[in-house]
Structures are given as C-alpha cells and as structure tokens.
Structure 1
Amino acid sequence: MNLYFLVEGVTERKLYPRWLEYLLPSLTRIFSPDEAGENSYYLISGGGFPSLLDSHLTNSVRDITDSGNYDYFIIALDADDIAVHDKIEEVTARIAHESMSLGRCELKVVVQNRCIETWLLGNRIVFSRNPTTEALIQCIRFYNVFDNDPELMFKPVAFEESVASFHYEYLRLMLTERNIRYSKKYPKDTLEPYYIEQLKNRLRQTSEHLNSLQDFFDFCTSVRQRIEENA
C-alpha cells in the first residue's frame, strides 16, 4: 500500500507525517516519489492555495503515473468559506479539465473544513471554561467550540481577515491559555498522540461534529485494515 500526499501548507507538512506515525504506523515515509515500494508514503506541500492546483497538481499526477506504484493520491486542503462538496468538485473538475489520468491510483480529497486549525479546536481538554484573557473571552462569547461544532464557526463581522485566520487565532489563544505555544511553523503539542486521541474522544462524544475530521480518520482506518489484510 503506497500513498502520495499533496497537502496545502506549512502546518500540514509538519502535522500529517506525525499523525501518520500514529494512525498508520506500518507506513514508511519516503522522500522521493520514485522510491515507492511496499507500505510507504510520499508527502509534498503545495505551498498554499491556489498554488496547490495551479503549480503542483500536474507534477504530482506525473509522479504517480511515472511510478505506477501508488494506491491512493490524497489531496489535503482547506475549505475556507466554501462548502466541502464544492471544494471536492473544484479539485475533481480541475483534474478532468486537464485530462489527467491516475491509472489504478484512487483519488481521495481530504477537505479540512474550515482549515486545519478548525480540526485542532476540537480538543476539549485544552479548552478553558474560565479564560483569563479578554481576546479569548470574546472568541468564546462569539462561538463556543466546546459545545458547538467548530466546522460551523465563521468569524465576527468586525474581524477583517479570513475565516481560516480567525480559527487560527482562536486556537492560538486557546492553547496559550494552557501554556502551549502554537504557530503554523511550530504546531508543537498538536502533533502528539495525546492530541489525536482527544480529537477522537470529541468525535465519540459528539458524533455530529467535525465531520471532515471524522472522514479523514475513517480513511486512515480503512487503509490500515487493507494493510493488515494483505500482510
């Protein structure tokens, strides 16, 4: 089983390899797409959106077809303020428009709804019910991510930046309250197994929340089962 990941940004480039160590431990990371052998994965960042589609998609498809050894092509990107199904359609339409062929390799579009920080906001253990900073108090007053689905949160009208930027700031403030530093280049604790387990706990507690994260975990489970069946 060989997987090829094309991820959106700098955070995903750090986060996905660490998460895959825990979620798919039998996969070995390779650093050249032509090294795909048995139970390996290759990961490259698209440098943001739309660069991922405009500059990197064609090269990734070429890597996959030249190799012929990949089972899944996973494209991971933010939804931002677009519906998940529309984001998936945008990717599949681009592939169809460019007449790209993946051969036997199956496409899996992982949409981070709204962004990777939205998923990370799902950890209830690091949520403070008695925040000490006014900025975090205002975030929670606007939208309580402990009780409500983070994927349904947009942004305050007065917030001039994007929805994804607001989710990032909310997460940064929430983790800072717990003395955990977070930035896109240094996502720190969010890479750790305990953080993944707390997100899984959240999904068990509120099965209607964080559907796009559940979809990614389900995909990893299915891949793991296939690897075990073929062992």
Structure 2
Amino acid sequence: MSRKLVVIDHGLVEYNAAWDIQRDVFSKRTQGAADDHLLFFEHPNTYTLGKTASKTNLIGSEDFLRENGFSVVDIDRGGDITYHGPGQIVGYPIISLTEWHQDAHLYLRSLEEVLIRVSEEYGLSAGRKEKYTGVWIGERKIAAIGIKISRWVTMHGFAFNVNTNLDLFNGIIPCGIKDKDVTSLARELNNTTDMKSVKTLILKHFAEVFGYNTLSSGYPVTPN
C-alpha cells in the first residue's frame, strides 16, 4: 500500500501563526483535501500550556515574561507546560490514524520511537521513562511530546532539543515534573549539531516507523 507524506520546513515562525497553519492543514486533512503532513518549525521564545497544565508550573508572572519577550500561550494539546525556542526542532505531524492505526497510545509510543532512533544515530542511549511521555537520556528529558487527536487526525507533536538554550527552561517546571532535568543534543555531545541533518534523520525514521514510502516536499504557506 502506498502511503504519502508531505514534509514542509517552515523555519522560525511565531507560535500562534504556526498554530494557525496547523489548523488549516488539519481542516483540509479531515475533509480529505490534503495528504498526511509533517510540519517542521522553530519558534521564538514561547511557553505553551496544555489542557492539563497548572499555572503554578510557570515561574514568574505572565506579564513579566511577556515584557521580556516571551510568549505565553494556552493551547489544546495534552500535557502540561513546556518551552519552545530557537535551536529546538518542533515537529507537527498532521496524519490520519484511520489510515494507520486508530490507537492514541501506539501513536505516542511511535513518536517516541522516532526520536529514540534519532538520538541513537548520535551514539546516545535514549529511551522511555515509566509514567512519563517523552524521550529521555538517563534522568534528562531531550524531547517533549504533546498531541491532540480529533476525528482520528493528529495535531501538535514533539519538541526535540538540539542546540536549545536550556537555561530558558528555568522559567518553568517542565511538563510539571519537579525532580528531572532537561538536556539537548548539544549538551550530550558537547558540541552544536547541524539542525538540517537532524531533520533529515527525523524524517527518515518517521517514514520508517509510520510506514511512508512516498515523501513529498511542500512549501511554507500562510493559512487561508
């Protein structure tokens, strides 16, 4: 069976604008007017709070953060609070699980599997941690995952720390987990990593895990 994935690298885009793009593609996918998509982004400094987020995990007032150039956005994905910023690869798969497996748990574990395999390409021993969603290297979280599924089409996705300024996680309790640290490829490898190369590996393993045999490059667009 042929399965097609359209891949679009939007580069650095403000969070709300990227969310609009997601929703536009999602709407078309649910109507059968678009193929499955994987959208890559980076975002300016942003804290996003999922549906189960507690504002107590946001250190400092929202007004203070906004005055200092941070966006604070309440969104409709699962999970708590996380940070997005330059040097972090954010991936938003907008795919029909009806044409894959109608299993949200399997979908989450499969996103983790993609990023575990990418980490292993760099010689890192990454894995899962019981009770927590995401990808871990020891006690350090290298990738956060938060999704939304509606009509068996996915939104939101993963944030993979590559050259991320990890100090900016100090403004929050990441994912509401108080006793764990965050990390990045740069921290683990003691060197910056080429973002384009990482995206290539993410795409390779995403296609393998989700069974895509036709890949198409799309072009950044603004929502209708």
TM value normalised by structure 1: 0.28
Q: Which has the higher contact order (CA 8 A, sep 6+)?
A: 2
Higher helix share: 1
Task: Report the TM-score when normalising by structure 2.
Answer: 0.28
Larger proportion of strand: 2
Higher gyration radius (CA): 1
